Structure 1
Amino acid sequence: MKAIPRWCSLAILATAAALCAGCQASTLAYFLFPEAKHEAEMKKLASEDKKEVRVLLLTYSTNQETQPEFIQADRQLTEILAQKLREMCEVNGENVTIVNPHKVEEFKSRRPNWQQEPNLTEIGQQFKADYVIYIEIGSLTMYEKQSRILYHGQANLSVQLVDVHKPEETPLPRQFSCIYPDAKGPIPIDDMQPGEFRQQFLGYVALRLGRFFTATSIRDSYYVE
């Protein structure tokens, strides 16, 4: 492949500058420079050689400190995280396949005591997965402490990543906590229905968890509440 002549490169830059005349410098930088990203906080799941990587999401709720509004939240969180992680990997051009959450729920229904001594490696092998992301929900709360008139979601989870092909290298679970909304503070219950807030809150938790496994743009919406 022939190199682009210098005069051609200069012409391209000049054209870009002309098109962006009157635009902010950040707008021009968007077209001319690579986008800055946060790397995966735990481990990038995608393979460098672009081979398909299959990922199993397995979520369990202890229900010990979970409010009634979040009963079966483990199922909903799995579905939302599967969707968001798939989208985030696609944005990065990564060949990551998430095992259908409905298939996982069928497995859990057939084995109601699976969580007592979960062998994550064997479960991953059954689904022909390369990785298992195991999320244990310690607590989910929907309201501000000692209040039922303000939404202020709080989540406390543990996250463990198992490489099915190298189970001996499995690290200890990582504790994860978040509050939603954080910067803006609590939301009056008159502003939205409980179901709407629950959906937004679990969506935020899913996006935060997605950062563990794929790079995310510093300036994109994943970092905005």
Structure 2
Amino acid sequence: MTKQKLLYIEDDREIGSWTSAYLIDRGYDVHWLTSGEQALQVIGGCDLAILDVMLPGLDGFTVGQRLKKEFPHTPILMLSARTAIDDKLHGLQFADDYVTKPFHPDELAARIEVLLRRFEKQTPAMIKLKHLHIYLEENRIVDNNTETEIALTGKQYHIFSYLLRHPNQILTKEQLYEGVWGASYIDGDKTLMVHIRHLREKLERNPGEPDIIETIRGIGYRVKQ
């Protein structure tokens, strides 16, 4: 059985260490970060995010809002020593639960299980797109015509999954680049274009006339579902 993956962001190494160890003992695959800078790059394969509010650099509220915007079907649980009702209300504008510190690890585990059950059916296990069967939980793509698996690089899958999370929406080069690389797009940079070309060579029946990843001339790209 595949372990459920948790993104855990906590800058206090003592708290982070014992909480991660506890959750691993409970059978979860835990990706622990000490800041939110790389959160968008790693959450794609995770089932739930646990965020401390007081983080260096980007605070937990900012990180959580960005994650929920890009991954609306991934539950977010906020952890904070702040007990003021205004802080809780702020967090619950985007987060799905809010736990105050100190907390008992069994309570944390129970709240995680509730959120995972609640969101379990909101994300489809498989997407059918033209001749492709895309297994989201397994990061796997199969050509249904040939019944062969299509191997993508990590960056290629990240680009494609980002497009899939915004079906039928035209995404600009700037949006794609920032969403995948986490940096501002520099006009004239061919990196994204090269990755799109390689993606089409692997995914499209006819890369010269793509019908999966469409180019919207002068704007960007779109995946129609």
Q: Which category describes the TM-score, using the shorter chain as reference length? A: under 0.3
The one of the two structures with greater contact order (alpha-carbon pairs below 8 A, sep at least 6) is 1
Structure 1 length-normalised TM? 0.25
Structure 2 length-normalised TM? 0.25
